[in-house]
A = this chain, B = another copy of it.
């Protein structure tokens, strides 16, 4: 199965030794390696009746690559652990493999190693490595009062797609495919790092949650600009059809893996980045100065801030 997954695949120059020995060897010209791992479980993180195996493979790699890029590092290599029942059709394994390699190819990373074992449930664990190219890692803790908050990529599309699939629908395709395969804008993330982002993360748990973590790590508050976050027409349309406030998706929907960063007030933002708020003293995240809480009815807006 491993031979089948690695045969005839082209390794990039960063793969000094690919699969087949006790371990792989990956170049780390910077002298530091950025590394992260994520585990996806069938029935928890994906459903093979909602997504193809190829889409699952792409998603598993995408969320790891987004973590590497969110540190300001260029992804170099991936390792994949696959646990699955002995009855798993070979088409599923082949589909997963294709998805893994296709997404890795987007950033020029190689799949340099892995493990395939038997289990009752399909579990995909992915580890991604990256190179900082001489830059300092962009941490969550670097935001300072006076910085702007900016985002590159979509917010809420994956959550809208999940809502559609959960109701038994398969359309609109735009949001459903956003849920099946996120498209983190890797190049924009790296551009943000090169432009001197003071802090960065990717939106995996939702804008409010991830910005909240970043603000807490930095010891600052953040205020979002409601107008800048106005839901796209497609999200409004889907929300209207399903009876869901699209602001819920924009503010709390994860898995799109947009890049969320802060920049010093005199920095010029790279193309593709949109200012969505400001960093202040204190703690917590507000929208136009007030708390957002879905418990407060369909719009989620409180009349008064804390």
Which residues of A line the B interface, CB within 8 A?
Answer: 16-17, 20-41, 44-45, 66-68, 70-71, 73, 77, 79-83, 112-115, 117-121, 123, 125, 127-130, 132, 137, 139-141, 200-202, 217
Question: Within the assembled complex, what's the spacing in Å between the Cα atoms of A121 and B117?
Answer: 13
Return chain B residues, CB-CB under 8 Å to A37.
79-81, 113-115, 125, 127
User: A36 and B16: CB pair below 8 A?
Assistant: no
Interface CB pairs A-B, < 8 A, 20: A21-B201, A22-B67, A22-B70, A23-B70, A23-B130, A25-B35, A25-B132, A27-B31, A27-B33, A28-B32, A33-B33, A35-B77, A37-B79, A37-B115, A38-B81, A44-B117, A44-B119, A83-B123, A120-B120, A121-B121
CB distance A35 to B121 under 8 Å?
Answer: no
Q: Answer whether A17 and B137 are a contact pair too, CB < 8 Å, given A28-B28, A113-B36, A119-B44.
A: yes
Contact B38 A33 (CB under 8 A): no
User: In the complex, how many angstroms separate the beta carbon of A56 from the nearest chain B beta carbon?
Assistant: 14
Kindly state the separation between the CA atoms of A149 and B35 in the bound complex, as whole angstroms. Answer: 36
> Are B81 and A22 touching (Cβ within 8 A)?
no
CB distance from A165 to the nearest CB of B (A): 19
Please report the C-alpha to C-alpha distance between residue A292 and residue B80 in the assembled complex, in whole angstroms: 35
Using known A-B contacts A44-B117, A117-B44, A127-B79, determine if residue A23 contacts B35 with beta carbons closer than 8 Å. Answer: yes
Identity of the chain B residue whose Cβ is nearest the Cβ of A200 in the assembled complex: B22
Bound-complex Cα distance A217 to B79 (A): 22
Q: A81 vs B114: C-alpha distance in the bound complex, in angstroms?
A: 14
Task: Establish whether residues B25 and A33, one from each chain, have CB atoms under 8 Å apart when the complex forms.
Answer: yes
Chain B residues with CB under 8 Å of A132's CB are 25
Cα of A27 to Cα of B83 in the assembled complex, Å: 30
Most chain B CB within 10 A, of A24, A27, A45, A119, is at A119
List of 6 A-B pairs having minimum Cβ-Cβ separation, nearest first = A23-B36, A28-B28, A125-B125, A39-B81, A22-B70, A37-B79
Q: Which residues of B contact A201 (CB under 8 A)?
A: 21-22
In the bound complex, residues from chain B placing their C-beta under 8 Å from that of A45 are 117
Q: From residue A139, how far is it (CB to closest CB) to chain B in Å?
A: 6
For A130, give the chain B residue with the smallest CB separation. Answer: B23
Give chain B nearest CB distance to A291 CB in angstroms.
25
Given that A68-B23, A70-B23, A83-B39 are known contacts, is A33 also in contact with B129, CB under 8 Å in the complex?
yes
A82: B residues at CB distance < 8 A: 39
